[in-house]
Structure 1
Amino acid sequence: MHETFRAVTADRFGPPDFYQLKEHRIEAPGTGRVRVRISAAALSYADMLAARGGHQAKAALPFTPGSEFAGIVDAIGEDVSGVAVGDPVTGVCGSGALAEMVTIPAPALRPLPAGLRSVEAAGLRVNTATALDALADRGTLAPGETLLVLGAAGGVGSAAVQVGKAIGARVIAVASSAEKRDFALANGAEEAIDYAAVGRRERLRTMTGGQGVDLVFDPVGGGSFDGAFRSLAWRGRYLAVGFASGTIPSLPLNLALVKGAALIGVEIGRFTILEPMQARANEARIEQWYADGILSPAIARVFSLEAYADAMVAASDGTGCGRIVVRMA
C-alpha cells in the first residue's frame, strides 16, 4: 500500500485555481470509520458552491471538495460491522471525495448496486435521494399528477425527471437550450419547454387543460421562480431545492393565498440526519429502481483526476447534461 494519496485541496475557499492536487499521508481509520480507495467521484453545483465558500453550511479548512463517490473498502476501524476490506461501495460525505482515498463513518457507505460501474454509481445517491425525498416525502407526488421540473438537464433536475416518471407522474421539463430539452425528453420527460420562451405560462396552462401544474421541483431559483409559482394549480406545491442561478427569490404571500399553494423546503442533509429510517427506506427503494432498470445514471462528462480544475468548472457552469464525474487512476 502506498504511504500517501492524492487529493484536491485548498487552504482557502475560492475558484478552481485556488485548488491544488496534493499528497496526503494515509492514516488508519478510527473507531466506527472506514477507509475507502475511491474509484470515481461526482461533482455537483452544491459541491462547487462549498468550494467557493458560498454554501450556507460552512466547512473547515483545508478543504477538499466532493461529497459523493464510489470505490473499494481499503481498511476498517474498530466496531465496524457489515462491511469488509475489498467490498465495492458508494459513499456520501460532507466533503473530501475529490481524492484517491477518504475515511468516513461506516453508516455513510452502501454496497455498490449490482450491474453498475463505479463511474456510473459515483453520483447516483445524493441527487436521486434528494429527488425522491422532495417528490414523494415532501411533495406527496401521486401517479397521474403533473410535475414541472426546472433545470431538468442538471444533475438533480435529471434525477427528478426520472423519479417523477417512476412514481407515475406526467413530467414537464424546463431547460435553457434545445440540447438540454432533447436530453430531458430522452431522460423520460413527456414534454419540454424553454425557460425564456414568450408565452411559457400560457403554454403550461394549455398543456394542463387550464388547471396548472400540481408540483414544481425547483433547484434553480432566480428569475424562473415567479412564473413557475404562478403556474401552480389550486392546492399546488412548490419545492425549493436549491438556487443554482445564484439568486434567492422572494415570494409575495398573496400568490400562495390565492392558489391555496404550499412552498416546501427540501434539505437532504438534515432529512438524512433527522429522519434516518425514512432516508434508509428511500435508499433501498432507489437501489431497487436501479437494479430493475427504472432509473439509469445520467452522466454529462467524465474527467481524470489530473483534470480536476476542468471538472470543477464544468460542475459550476451548468452547461452539461447530467452529472460531472472524476475518475481516479
Structure 2
Amino acid sequence: MKAVVVERYAPIDQIDLKEVASPRAAPGQLRIKIEAAGIGFVDGLKIEGRYQTKDPVPFIPGTEFAGVVADAPGAPGGYQAGMRVMGMTRSGALAEEIVVNPEAVHPLPDGVAPEVAASFRANYLTALYALSARASLVAGEQLLVLGASGGTGIAAVQIGKLLGGRVIAAASTPDKREFARAHGADAVIDYTQAGWRDEFKALTNGHGADVIFDPVGGEISVQAFRSIAWRGRHLVVGFAAGSIPALPFNLPLLKGGALLGVDLAQIPVREPDVQKRLTSELTGWLADGRLKPVVGHVFALEDFREAFRTMQTRAALGKVVVRIAR
C-alpha cells in the first residue's frame, strides 16, 4: 500500500510517499481502508520532531481519518466489513490502510462524506471540550476566537454559536474574516491592526471577552488577555504563530482571569468519560444537521507535501484534508 513514511525527523519536503506492506488485523482489531485523512499543526510538528512527545521513527503520520472497515476478525465492537467509520489515532492515517482498536472509531452517519468526517473529530472535539468542559461557556457570553478561519478556529466559531455564545471572530485578512462570518460569527475583527483592542472593546460595550479561544499564541495572546472580562477564561489551544507567549502574572490577578490548557491528546487517558459524552454530542449534531463541519482545501495523497505547506503557512480556510481513495 502507499503511505507517507517519516524515516527521520525532517521538514515535509524531505518526507516521501512509499510502498509499504499492508497491515494485518489481529483478533479484536479493525483494518480500515482509508478514504480521507485530516491534517493539522500537530502532525507537522511530529514530522519535524518538534512536538512535546516524539513518535519513534519510522512512523506514518496522521491522526484523523474516515473510511470503510475492510477486515474485522471476530467483529470487535460490533463492527463488520463494509461499515463506514471515522476515527482518531496516535499516528498512521496518511496511508491507504490502517489497523486500529474499535475504541478508536465511531460509525459514520449516513450521508456524511469522508472529507467531512476527516475534518470533524479532532477540531470539533477540541472546540467542544475547550468551550464546554473547560471554559463552561454559557449562552449570552462574549467569545473571542483568535485565528478564526483555521481548522480549530472555525470549529470554535460554530460550536460557540451552538452553545449560545456571541462570537467575535479575529482573523488577519478580509477573506478570512468573511469566511468566519459566513460560518456563524456575529462580528469580525482584524487583529493585525494597532487599535484592534479598542474596536473589540466597542463591540462588547466595554465588557471584554468572557472566553478567549486561542490556537495562535505569540504576542497576540498577551494582547487578547488584556481584553478579557472579569472572571474571563483564556483557552490555550496551540501556537500556530510559532512562538509561545509569556504572560505577566499580574494580568490574571488584575483581571480575575484564568488560563486553561486544552490538550486533546490527553483526554482519552485522563477523561475518557468526558470524551465519550462529547463525541456522542458532536455525532448527534452531525447526524441531525445542526453541525456542518467545514472542509477546507482537499489534496490528493500524492500532493501531501503541498497540503502540509498550505496548512503550515496558515493559507488554508478550514481543515486541510488529504483524499486517499474513493
TM-score (normalizing by structure 2): 0.97
Q: Do 1:112 and 1:121's aligned partners in 2 also have CA atoms closer than 8 Å?
A: yes
- Equivalent position SS for 2:305: helix
2:263 to 263, 267, 287: 267
Name the aligned partner's letter for residue 309 of structure 1. Answer: R
Partner of 2:72: 76
Cα deviation, 1:242-287, whole Å, max 9, x if unaligned, reads 1111100111111000111111001111112211111111001101
- Equivalent position SS for 1:91: strand
2:49 to 25, 33, 53: 53
2:115 to 119, 129, 133: 119
Q: How far, CA to CA, are the matches of 1:301 and 1:282 in structure 2?
A: 26
Q: Do 2:40 and 2:311's aligned partners in 1 also have CA atoms closer than 8 Å?
A: yes
- Equivalent position SS for 1:279: helix
- Equivalent position SS for 2:36: strand
Q: Do 2:32 and 2:67's aligned partners in 1 also have CA atoms closer than 8 Å?
A: yes
Q: How far, CA to CA, are the matches of 1:134 and 1:31 in structure 2?
A: 36
| Deviant stretches of 4+, over 6 Å | none
Q: What is the aligned-residue identity percentage?
A: 45
Q: How far, CA to CA, are the matches of 2:127 and 2:193 in structure 1?
A: 26
Question: Which stretches in structure 2 are left out of the alignment for 5+ residues?
Answer: none
Cα deviation, 1:112-166, whole Å, max 9, x if unaligned, reads 1222111111120010000000000000000000000001000001100000000
1:243 to 221, 224, 239: 239
**Deviation, structure 1 residue 77:** 3.9
Partner of 2:311: 315
Partner of 2:293: 297
Name the aligned partner's letter for residue 110 of structure 2. Answer: A
- Equivalent position SS for 1:25: coil
Question: Which stretches in structure 1 are left out of the alignment for 5+ residues?
Answer: none
Matched length = 325
Asked if 1:282 is matched to 2:278, the reply is yes
2:14 to 18, 21, 43: 18
Name the aligned partner's letter for residue 314 of structure 1. Answer: T
Name the aligned partner's letter for residue 20 of structure 1. Answer: D
Partner of 2:94: 98
Q: Do 2:6 and 2:61's aligned partners in 1 also have CA atoms closer than 8 Å?
A: no
Q: How far, CA to CA, are the matches of 2:29 and 2:89 in structure 1?
A: 12
**Deviation, structure 1 residue 27:** 3.3
**Deviation, structure 1 residue 202:** 1.0
Partner of 2:171: 175
Q: How far, CA to CA, are the matches of 1:72 and 1:31 in structure 2?
A: 18
Q: Do 2:235 and 2:260's aligned partners in 1 also have CA atoms closer than 8 Å?
A: yes
Q: How far, CA to CA, are the matches of 2:298 and 2:166 in structure 1?
A: 31
Q: How far, CA to CA, are the matches of 2:13 and 2:229 in structure 1?
A: 46
Partner of 1:324: 320
Aligned CA-pair RMSD: 1.2
**Deviation, structure 1 residue 309:** 1.3
Q: Do 1:7 and 1:100's aligned partners in 2 also have CA atoms closer than 8 Å?
A: yes
Q: How far, CA to CA, are the matches of 1:131 and 1:253 in structure 2?
A: 26
Map residues 28-47 of structure 1 onto 2, 5 A cutoff.
Answer: 28-47=24-43
Cα deviation, 1:210-241, whole Å, max 9, x if unaligned, reads 11110000001001111100000110010001
Q: Do 1:13 and 1:63's aligned partners in 2 also have CA atoms closer than 8 Å?
A: no
**Deviation, structure 1 residue 21:** 1.2
Q: How far, CA to CA, are the matches of 2:75 and 2:289 in structure 1?
A: 35
Cα deviation, 1:156-213, whole Å, max 9, x if unaligned, reads 0110000000000000001011110000000110111112112111111111111111
Shifted more, 103-112 versus 19-28: the winner is: 19-28
Q: How far, CA to CA, are the matches of 2:295 and 2:9 in structure 1?
A: 27
- Equivalent position SS for 1:81: helix
